[in-house]
């Protein structure tokens, strides 16, 4: 009888989810949800409640005209009432309620708590096709049952909020200890625009949110910022690296670095005889170690403000210690390669929600780990956004290209 074929351990490599409080992203800035002052502490005696549902409320200032109302979300923040041009109704209250219902259906915290069924999700997505929160839920359901573990290479969030939705979307992997993530520049660095996340993030609050999420997933962060896991049945060592390990170096630049401390830790991990014996040694990081093209017929994206500053030494380190495969995201480009001058293989992940910069629709890499490594691109069935409406930071800080 011929020997039975080895059943492969399958990784789904996803990247760049860009979820946010309401699914709005910096990639589509016209639709960023604006929120203003926190009215949670406002003296109740000066307001009367005129409408309330699902934690949302409309308040009217006592003694002022009927149209002088405030729409308050469940976190206590005020939203501007849409104009008649946007919502065709003469009544400000009706317009406020319309907005509240629309935002509530896309709110990360609410979607995480009670995910909608597939039909509702399809209907919501049709109304707001670029919404990353909805896209994440739809795409996560497209991951096939044969996938053993999910790895996400950064930009989990658009601006540091929405981790609860990531956790909920991949709960079946999270609960088995099979959800592995690293942070990206959007998760840890600052941007020159205001998103919908409140309170407004700071470098400290972003770092704290990332650490809390890593802890929730059981990823023990080494003092350098890295984590590692051994999966014996796959003969696999996973090493998660923080490519934003150092503070943002210049105003709003998104350049990252692995840094000396993580490099030393990787050397230490790979010097371990038990780790050396494993067949697959996979490094996960957000930034790219080799510059990427945009694809057929498209020129290479600019590296200014986007690169990994110690990319060359990191690539040499990977070869030196025997890393077999590198998974990364960041540029929203989907590509598999074995770069000249390196022994490791690279899978660059596109955005799982926004798509590939080539114009290709959202996808993920389905990577089989057996005696050999085999990757297939799997499309999740949404139209691409990244290729059509990527903004530029050029005018703000000399940086180019958002990812
Ligand atoms: Fe990025
Ligand atoms: Fe990104």
In a shared domain, residues 15 and 84: no
Which ligand has the shortest distance to the CA of 308? 1
Q: Which residues, chain by chain, have CB under 5 Å from ion ligand 2?
A: 16, 155, 403
In a shared domain, residues 48 and 146: no
Which ligand has the shortest distance to the CA of 17? 2
Q: Rounded distance, CA 111 to CA 103, Å?
A: 11
Cα torsion 276, 282, 287, 289: sign: positive
State the CB neighbour count (10 A cutoff) for residue 108.
25
In a shared domain, residues 169 and 299: yes
Q: Which residues, chain by chain, have CB under 5 Å from ion ligand 1?
A: 155, 184-185, 330, 403
In a shared domain, residues 92 and 195: no
Which ligand has the shortest distance to the CA of 356? 2
Of the three residues 78, 104, 130, the one that is the final residue of a domain is: 104
Helix (H) or strand (E) holding 50: strand 47-53
In a shared domain, residues 307 and 379: yes
Distance from Cα 352 to the centre of ligand 1, integer Å? 13
Distance from Cα 274 to the centre of ligand 2, integer Å? 35
Whether residue 199 has a cis bond before it, omega within 30° of 0: yes
- Residue 76: give the domain boundaries: 44-104
Query: Does 145 fall in a domain?
Result: yes
In a shared domain, residues 124 and 219: yes
Distance from Cα 182 to the centre of ligand 1, integer Å? 11
Query: Does 2 fall in a domain?
Result: no
In a shared domain, residues 140 and 285: yes
Q: Six-digit token pair at 386?
A: 């990244």
Query: Does 4 fall in a domain?
Result: no
Mean pLDDT by 10 residues, the chain (403 residues): 70 98 86 76 74 95 81 92 91 95 96 96 91 96 95 97 98 98 97 87 97 98 98 98 92 92 98 98 97 80 87 98 98 94 97 92 96 95 52 28 62
Query: Does 284 fall in a domain?
Result: yes
**According to the model, what pLDDT value does residue 324 have?**
98
In a shared domain, residues 90 and 125: no
Q: For the chain, what is the domain count? A: 2
Burial 280-315 (b: 16+ CB within 10 A, else e): bbbbbbbbbbbebebbeeeeebebbbbbbbbbebbb
Which ligand has the shortest distance to the CA of 16? 2
Task: Write the CATH number for 271.
Answer: 3.60.21.10
DSSP 29-45: GGGPPP---B-TTS-GG
**According to the model, what pLDDT value does residue 40 have?**
59
Query: Does 140 fall in a domain?
Result: yes
**According to the model, what pLDDT value does residue 4 have?**
56
Distance from Cα 403 to the centre of ligand 1, integer Å? 4
Query: Does 110 fall in a domain?
Result: no
In a shared domain, residues 85 and 14: no
Which ligand has the shortest distance to the CA of 351? 2
Distance from Cα 221 to the centre of ligand 2, integer Å? 22
Query: Does 296 fall in a domain?
Result: yes
pTM confidence score: 0.92
Query: Does 37 fall in a domain?
Result: no
Distance from Cα 302 to the centre of ligand 2, integer Å? 15
In a shared domain, residues 62 and 121: no
Cα torsion 232, 14, 332, 336: sign: positive
Q: Six-digit token pair at 153?
A: 């290479």
In a shared domain, residues 135 and 95: no
In a shared domain, residues 254 and 314: yes
Distance from Cα 283 to the centre of ligand 2, integer Å? 18
Distance from Cα 19 to the centre of ligand 2, integer Å? 10
Distance from Cα 323 to the centre of ligand 1, integer Å? 22
Which ligand has the shortest distance to the CA of 19? 2
């Amino acid at each position: 009888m011929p020997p039975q074929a080895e059943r492969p351990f399958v990784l789904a490599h996803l990247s760049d989810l860009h979820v946010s409080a309401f699914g709005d992203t910096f990639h589509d800035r016209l639709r960023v949800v604006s929120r203003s002052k926190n009215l949670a502490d406002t003296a109740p005696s000066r307001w009367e409640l005129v409408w309330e549902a699902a934690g949302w409320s409309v308040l009217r200032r006592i003694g002022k005209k009927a149209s002088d109302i405030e729409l308050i979300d469940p976190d206590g923040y005020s939203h501007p009432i849409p104009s008649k041009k946007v919502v065709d109704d003469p009544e400000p209250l009706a317009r406020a309620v319309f907005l509240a219902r629309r935002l509530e259906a896309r709110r990360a915290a609410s979607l995480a708590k009670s995910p909608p069924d597939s039909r509702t999700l399809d209907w919501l997505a049709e109304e707001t096709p670029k919404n990353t929160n909805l896209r994440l839920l739809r795409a996560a359901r497209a991951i096939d049952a044969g996938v053993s573990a999910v790895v996400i290479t950064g930009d989990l969030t658009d601006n540091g909020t929405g981790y609860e939705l990531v956790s909920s979307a991949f709960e079946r992997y999270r609960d088995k200890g099979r959800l592995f993530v690293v942070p990206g520049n959007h998760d840890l660095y600052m941007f020159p625009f205001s998103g919908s996340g409140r309170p407004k993030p700071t470098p400290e609050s972003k770092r704290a949110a990332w650490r809390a999420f890593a802890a929730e997933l059981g990823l023990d962060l080494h003092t350098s910022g890295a984590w590692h896991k051994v999966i014996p049945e796959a003969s696999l060592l996973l090493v998660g690296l923080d490519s934003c390990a150092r503070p943002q170096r210049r105003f709003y630049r998104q350049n990252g670095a692995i840094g000396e401390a993580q490099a030393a830790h990787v050397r230490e991990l790979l010097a371990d005889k038990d780790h050396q014996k494993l067949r697959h040694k996979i490094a996960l990081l957000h930034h790219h170690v080799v510059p990427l093209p945009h694809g057929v017929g498209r020129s290479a994206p600019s590296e200014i403000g986007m690169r990994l500053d110690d990319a060359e030494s990191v690539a040499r380190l990977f070869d030196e210690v025997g890393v077999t495969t590198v998974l990364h995201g960041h540029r929203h480009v989907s590509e598999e390669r074995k770069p000249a001058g390196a022994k490791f293989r690279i899978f660059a992940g596109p955005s799982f929600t926004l798509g590939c910069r080539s114009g290709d629709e959202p996808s993920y890499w389905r990577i089989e780990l057996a005696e050999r490594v085999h990757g297939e691109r799997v499309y999740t069935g949404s139209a691409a956004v990244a290729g059509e409406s990527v903004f530029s930071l050029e005018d703000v800080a000399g940086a180019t290209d958002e990812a």
